[in-house]
Amino acid sequence: MLAPLLFDEYKYLAYKFPEPQYLGAKVNHLSWIAKYLPSNVHTALDAFSGSQSVSFYFKQLGYKTISNDFLNFNNQIGKALIENKQEILKKCDIEILFQESPQKAEFSLMSDVFTGIFFQKEEADFIDNFRANIPLLSNVYKQALALTVMNRSLTRKITMGHFGHTKALVYAKDPDRIKRNRSLIRPIKDIFLEILPKYNEAIFDNQQDNLSYNENILDLLPKFKEDIDLVYFDPPYCDSHADYQSFYHLLETYTEYWKDKQFVNGTKRYEPQRYSGFDKKSQIINSFRKLFELSDFIPNWIMSYNNRSYPDIETMVELIKPFREVQVKHKIYNNSRGGKGSVAGSSEILLICTRYN
């Protein structure tokens, strides 16, 4: 069952995935997940791809990689780092992005909605202007890369790396916090320029036509016509994780530049939210049943799970059993507070699911 790493497969592993700041990202679990990858995978689907850390690893292994997340800012990372074979942001592109936009007047969403909550007016104007210039870049991959690097700069800039709180501007004036994290007072432009090279250096061609999708996975699965050898499921950990749309709403608003939403609560989260099916207790069992039924054409499944999630692990195994034989593997967090995005004392679980003989 262990995947033998042939010499040829090492050649992309030197590329470095730019460090994400995303709840539940699996970047620190990749070598553990790697132990359970089946051999002879040609095409792999990362069904809930988030920061794209697992998709990036699949791409490094030479798989044809299909990634999907229902949030578009994550899909943009997929376009930039997974689909993209060679497009980087060069000096001339950066000049376009930082120029004063001819359409400035039509791009004031961040300033209108988030000034005084996450940004001072000047910074909000800067990111609006930058957003107006993105469509001027010459192709969709450069555009996706510009959005990706800007979104990452915004999570660097804002305290705690998410937008589910209203403390950003208060903490940005707190000397203790600034000492610990200078990004709080750095101009977004500087942060962008600092991290851009890490993204440019992460772009490579693994000789496959990789794809990034932006759909609810339950809508996407029936559309596949091709053979897929492996699917990796990393659903939101219902009941133990905060909700992605409350945490990262600002990135989705920036990416979509919504014109048809309301912005509610202290954080100005967009409303209505996208439908997940995997984040509410009342829907989740049904959604998993559907997910497994729709994935039956894919022989190998690997699922990340957590012992604090709902439904509990025994129920999850029972849900999978009609379709696949299941092995449960535990990884105990070493630090007492749990890993990033985890609950203290929780253990990360992998469900290795194979067809019955």
Q: Are 228 and 65 in contact (CB under 8 A)?
A: no
Cis peptide before 311 (omega within 30 of 0): yes
Q: Strand pairing of 300-306 and 347-354?
A: antiparallel
Our finding on whether 69 is near ligand SAM (CB under 6 A) is yes
Our finding on whether 33 is near ligand SAM (CB under 6 A) is no
Our finding on whether 276 is near ligand SAM (CB under 6 A) is yes
Our finding on whether 70 is near ligand SAM (CB under 6 A) is yes
User: 10 Å Cβ neighbour count for 189?
Assistant: 17
Our finding on whether 53 is near ligand SAM (CB under 6 A) is yes
Q: Are 60 and 37 in contact (CB under 8 A)?
A: no
> Shortest distance, CB of residue 97 to ligand SAM, whole angstroms?
26
Contacts made by residues 343-346, CB under 8 angstroms, sequence distance 24+: 343/240, 343/306, 343/308, 346/240, 346/306, 346/307, 346/308
Report the amino acid identity of residue 6.
L
End-to-end CA distance of the chain: 14
What is the dihedral angle through the alpha carbons of 292, 294, 295, 299, rounded to the nearest 10 degrees? 110
Our finding on whether 18 is near ligand SAM (CB under 6 A) is no
Q: Are 96 and 105 in contact (CB under 8 A)?
A: no
Interacting residue with ligand SAM among 65, 74, 76, 253 (CB under 6 A): 74
Interacting residue with ligand SAM among 41, 43, 44, 48 (CB under 6 A): 48
Q: Tell me if residue 239 falls in helix, strand or coil.
A: coil
Q: Are 346 and 338 in contact (CB under 8 A)?
A: yes
114/117 Cα distance (integer angstroms): 5
Residue nearest to ligand SAM (CB): 50
- 106 or 215, CB closer to ligand SAM? 215
Our finding on whether 141 is near ligand SAM (CB under 6 A) is no
Our finding on whether 78 is near ligand SAM (CB under 6 A) is no
Stretch that binds ligand SAM, among 23-31, 138-146, 197-205, 260-268 (CB under 6 A): 23-31
Our finding on whether 123 is near ligand SAM (CB under 6 A) is no
The residue among 353, 354, 355, 350 whose CA lies nearest residue 31 is 350
Stretch that binds ligand SAM, among 49-57, 107-115, 119-127, 136-144 (CB under 6 A): 49-57
Interacting residue with ligand SAM among 33, 41, 71, 350 (CB under 6 A): 71
Q: Total binding residues for ligand SAM by CB under 6 A?
A: 24
Stretch that binds ligand SAM, among 174-182, 194-202, 233-241, 264-272 (CB under 6 A): 233-241
Contact map string, positions 199 to 218, toward ligand SAM, x by CB under 6 A: -----------------xx-
Stretch that binds ligand SAM, among 42-50, 108-116, 149-157, 160-168 (CB under 6 A): 42-50
Tell me which residues touch ligand SAM (CB under 6 A): 22, 24-26, 48-51, 53-54, 68-71, 74, 216-217, 234-236, 244, 276-278
